[in-house]
């Protein structure tokens, strides 16, 4: 049984914007940089010379993976260790740097380097922190799950036959007596160290659906949720917290991908889920409308993320964008989407079993 400690605290969703460098292909096609950064305001990004946006964190192309991790992820790790749920949502068009920033692409998980993304760094930090606390009065248990939402079918990426299960996963999503969202029917693998957890991240990343489109030669054609569940056992209490790392599929308009057949079907499904997500963000973030009904049930994606958006989670949206002028419309859409998310209030508590 899961209970809450203390009264819920109201917190806003944090938003970080990361602008990647121009690619070699963009440079060869003489694409110009449509993004500027305010010299006197490190939280502001300017699109097209006259469209300023202000966010909690802004990362220019010169920012390193370590810069991103230190400033906006470590605070969430510290909360997670105290028993709070947390979520990082990576959003943006295909090729904007979402999967690179999160560190769950094949290149990232197969080859550790100084360019490791958020998830590998988090895994390393988590076990370092846990081992430093271990004593006869303190122990812990870590489990992991890895879900893919592809064409509105759920696939368990840690299941050995994940890719062959075309019928999807028989997963049940429900609310417990405290209003927390619970998933059943998902494999949760126990791990005891960094190597084991990284092994499961690799296993799931290999099984994830990718395909070539005009936007990206290895485009993620699905949404993915990599979750870490932490149970901490102390003399007087047992804490349980979960951390969702969400790598959303590309947000671009379907016609920009030149996709046909199965790729077009995937694009329609992706856009449907992201539209539902946008509707939830709008309903939660627009206080002037005082919306009483939040349309979480319009999509499996929004139902899965109900805790993360307006519920019991410390949530960060990482909006990734291209600086190229050819992508300015998509970049503007990404920043508008992220700007709405800043108005979402979550109600967080320390979770105790």
- Is 210 annotated for ligand binding? no
| Verdict on whether the full-model pTM lies above 0.85 | yes
Query: CB-side exposure of 307: number of CA atoms within 13 Å?
Result: 26
- Is 92 annotated for ligand binding? yes
Selection from 86, 89, 83, 350 nearest residue 243 by Cα: 86
From CA 116, how far away is CA 69, in angstroms rounded?
Answer: 10
Selection from 144, 149, 105, 101 nearest residue 123 by Cα: 144
Cβ-contact 156, 162 below 8 angstroms? yes
Hey, what CATH topology would domain 3-352 get? Kinesin (3.40.850)
From CA 148, how far away is CA 220, in angstroms rounded?
Answer: 10
- Is 99 annotated for ligand binding? yes
From CA 38, how far away is CA 339, in angstroms rounded?
Answer: 17
From CA 123, how far away is CA 145, in angstroms rounded?
Answer: 14
- Is 93 annotated for ligand binding? yes
Question: What tens-digit pLDDT sequence spans the chain (353 residues)?
Answer: 455 666 899 999 999 999 999 999 888 888 899 999 988 899 999 999 899 999 999 999 999 999 999 999 999 999 999 999 999 999 999 899 998 999 987 766 776 677 899 999 999 999 999 999 999 999 999 999 999 988 888 889 998 675 555 455 677 888 887 777 888 889 999 999 999 999 999 999 888 865 433 443 344 568 999 999 999 999 889 999 999 999 998 876 545 444 444 555 555 667 788 999 999 999 998 776 666 789 999 999 999 999 999 999 999 999 999 999 999 999 999 999 999 999 999 999 999 98
- Is 310 annotated for ligand binding? no
- Is 172 annotated for ligand binding? no
> What is the DSSP secondary-structure string of 121-136?
HHHHHHHHHHHHH-BT
Within 10 angstroms of residue 207's Cβ, the number of other Cβ atoms is 18
In this prediction, residue 216 carries a pLDDT of 39
In this prediction, residue 172 carries a pLDDT of 80
Selection from 299, 310, 311, 336 nearest residue 321 by Cα: 336
Within 10 angstroms of residue 328's Cβ, the number of other Cβ atoms is 18
- Between 328-341 and 262-285, two packed helices, what is the crossing angle to 10 degrees? 40
- Domain borders along the chain are 3-352
In this prediction, residue 283 carries a pLDDT of 93
- Is 299 annotated for ligand binding? no
């Amino acid at each position: 049984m899961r209970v809450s400690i203390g009264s819920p605290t109201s917190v806003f969703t944090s938003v970080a914007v990361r602008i990647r460098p121009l690619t070699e292909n963009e440079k060869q096609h003489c694409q110009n940089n449509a993004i500027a950064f305010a010299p006197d305001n490190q939280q502001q990004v300017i699109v097209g010379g006259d469209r300023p946006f202000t966010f909690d964190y802004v990362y220019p192309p010169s920012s390193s993976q370590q810069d991103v991790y230190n400033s906006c992820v470590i605070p969430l790790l510290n909360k997670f260790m105290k028993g709070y749920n947390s979520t990082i949502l990576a959003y943006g068009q295909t090729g904007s740097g979402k999967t690179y920033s999160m560190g769950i692409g094949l290149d990232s998980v197969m080859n550790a380097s100084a360019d490791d993304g958020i998830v590998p760094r988090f895994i390393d930090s988590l076990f370092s922190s846990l081992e430093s606390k271990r004593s006869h009065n303190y122990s812990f248990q870590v489990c992991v799950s890895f879900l893919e939402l592809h064409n509105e079918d759920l696939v368990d990426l840690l299941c050995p036959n994940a890719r062959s299960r075309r019928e999807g996963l028989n997963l049940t999503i429900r609310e417990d007596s405290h209003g927390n969202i619970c998933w059943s029917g998902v494999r949760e693998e126990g791990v005891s160290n960094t190597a084991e957890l990284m092994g499961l991240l690799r296993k799931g990343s290999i099984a994830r659906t990718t395909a070539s489109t005009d936007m990206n030669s290895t485009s993620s054609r699905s949404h993915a949720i990599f979750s870490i569940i932490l149970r901490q056992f102390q003399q007087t209490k047992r804490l349980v917290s979960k951390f969702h790392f969400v790598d959303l599929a590309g947000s671009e308009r379907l016609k920009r991908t030149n996709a046909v057949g199965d790729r077009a079907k995937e694009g329609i499904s992706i856009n449907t889920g992201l539209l539902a997500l946008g509707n939830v963000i709008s309903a939660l973030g627009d206080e002037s409308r005082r919306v009483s009904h939040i349309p979480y049930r319009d999509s499996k994606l929004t139902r899965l993320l109900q805790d993360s958006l307006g519920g019991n989670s410390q949530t960060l949206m990482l909006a990734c964008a291209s600086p190229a002028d050819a992508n300015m419309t998509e970049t503007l859409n990404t920043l508008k989407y992220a700007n709405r998310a800043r108005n979402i209030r979550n109600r967080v508590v320390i979770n105790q079993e």
